[in-house]
Amino acid sequence: MKRISIIGSTGSIGTQTLEIVRENKEYEVVALACGRNIELMERQMREFHPSFVAVGSEEDAASLRDATRDLGIPVGYGMDGLIKTAAWETADVTVTAIVGMIGVQPTLAAIEAGKDIALANKETLVTAGHLVMKAAAEKGVKILPVDSEHSAIFQSLQGNKGNRISRILLTASGGPFRGRTREELENVTLEDALKHPNWSMGQKITIDSATMVNKGLEVIEATWLFDVPPEKVEVLVQPQSIIHSAVEYEDGAVIAQLGTPDMKLPIQYALTWPERKYLAGERLDFTKLSAITLAQPDRKTFLGLDFAYRAAAEGGIIPTALNAANELAVADFLKKKIRFLDIYDRIAYAMDTAQKIDDPSIEDILAEEKAVGERLRAKFG
């Protein structure tokens, strides 16, 4: 029996994780946390009977407690509730399916409590990768990637321990605006940006895919997960999302993982590793594939990649400045307060104005998140 805690259980990754739990008798859910969707949380409580749940606000916690009085499950809230969920005593593995760098403290708390981490929440590795990987090594816990590309890389590394990696080939769909010029991006709408060609995901990562900031965050994520410098992570556009990523070894062999675009495979693999288990779903039919094409990303138009290579090279607090500015800008874009290309201006400004801090502590990281908000408000209103 594997006992699972999930932070972000009502989102895209969270609900797909619960679908896997539903199909597998050997998984038990012990704690769940979400932000605002308390109706869905109530249904999850009634189906999975966790020992603890948490929601975003105190008011929602009170409503949920009222609605589920018959279950007698304690309901927490806020950062305290997230940390309790992530580090829940009986959990073996914590799935970090929450969006944004709000996941940093709960993830560190889970590691501190000795939980393995099935990590979807890439913003945590981008901002606090040095702290997360160090704590995981000290505690002897595993960080198992859920992000499809990183799962593909992880799968391509199996059985190759000790062999030197010459490159990681990180694939990207290119998002809904692949092939467009900067001028053509000036007036794109929120609705256009939310139409991802291959994946149905939460809104924030969908916008990040359109700007290619997502791929940038994934470059940084890969440097931490696989201990490689950023120049060894090469991004390739693979519009059909069939090759999920690959590893090139020093003898020239390229090992890749291919499959239909379905997040359930990487989620399940993070839970079953080192084993594989049956997973229902569509299979690749190579005879019906019209093409698998590969191309260089357009880094002049989609600035997300250049920001990330620069942040990874500079290190320290700079990836936090990038990530925090992106989170704020995407939130404003989702509220239709700013235009698509404004996201890039805000990230560039936050990175340019960051004070250099090497080896930032958790306090430095959270302080920079706040400071980025202040700098952006002062500059852009």
Angle in degrees, CA 297, 298, 302, rounded to 5: 110
With CB cut-offs between 5 and 8 Å by kind, which of Mg ion, ligand NAD, none does residue 263 bind? Answer: ligand NAD
With CB cut-offs between 5 and 8 Å by kind, which of ligand NAD, Mg ion, none does residue 131 bind? Answer: none
Neighbouring-strand partners of residue 32: 6, 53
When the beta carbons of 262 and 380 are compared against ligand NAD, the nearer one is 262
Distance CA 71, CA 144 (A): 32
The terminus-to-terminus CA distance of the chain in angstroms comes to 52
Positive or negative, the CA dihedral 355, 359, 363, 366 is positive
Q: Output DSSP code: residue 72.
A: T
Q: Which stretch binds Mg ion (CB under 5 A): 14-22, 106-114, 140-148, 301-309?
A: 140-148
Q: Please give the residues from 111 up to 140 whose contact with ligand NAD meets the rule CB under 6 A.
A: 120-123
Distance CA 48, CA 206 (A): 29
Q: Interface with ligand NAD includes 13 (CB under 6 A)?
A: yes
SS3 call for 168: strand
In single-letter form, the type of residue at position 245 comes to: S
CB of 148 to ligand NAD, least distance (A): 6
CB of 56 to ligand NAD, least distance (A): 4
CB of 246 to ligand NAD, least distance (A): 18
Q: Interface with ligand NAD includes 44 (CB under 6 A)?
A: no
Packing angle of the helix pair 58-67, 38-48 (nearest 10 deg): 40
With CB cut-offs between 5 and 8 Å by kind, which of ligand NAD, Mg ion, none does residue 205 bind? Answer: ligand NAD
159, 268, 316 from 277: Cα distances, Å: 18, 8, 39
When the beta carbons of 10 and 257 are compared against ligand NAD, the nearer one is 10
Q: Interface with ligand NAD includes 14 (CB under 6 A)?
A: yes
Distance CA 358, CA 347 (A): 20
Neighbouring-strand partners of residue 143: 117
Q: Which stretch binds Mg ion (CB under 5 A): 52-60, 147-155, 235-243, 284-292?
A: 147-155
CB of 266 to Mg ion, least distance (A): 9
Q: Interface with ligand NAD includes 10 (CB under 6 A)?
A: yes
SS3 call for 340: coil
Q: Interface with ligand NAD includes 151 (CB under 6 A)?
A: no
When the beta carbons of 98 and 117 are compared against ligand NAD, the nearer one is 98
Q: Interface with Mg ion includes 369 (CB under 5 A)?
A: no
The bridge status of strand 243-249 relative to strand 165-172 is: antiparallel
Choose which of 30, 53, 102, 242 interacts with ligand NAD (CB under 6 A). Answer: 102
Angle in degrees, CA 176, 180, 185, rounded to 5: 85
Which residue bears the tokens 């952006």? 376
Q: Please give the residues from 200 up to 229 whose contact with ligand NAD meets the rule CB under 6 A.
A: 201-202, 204-205
Contact positions vs ligand NAD (CB under 6 A) = 8-14, 33-35, 37, 56, 82, 97-99, 102, 120-123, 147, 199, 201-202, 204-205, 263
Binding site for Mg ion (CB under 5 A): 147-149
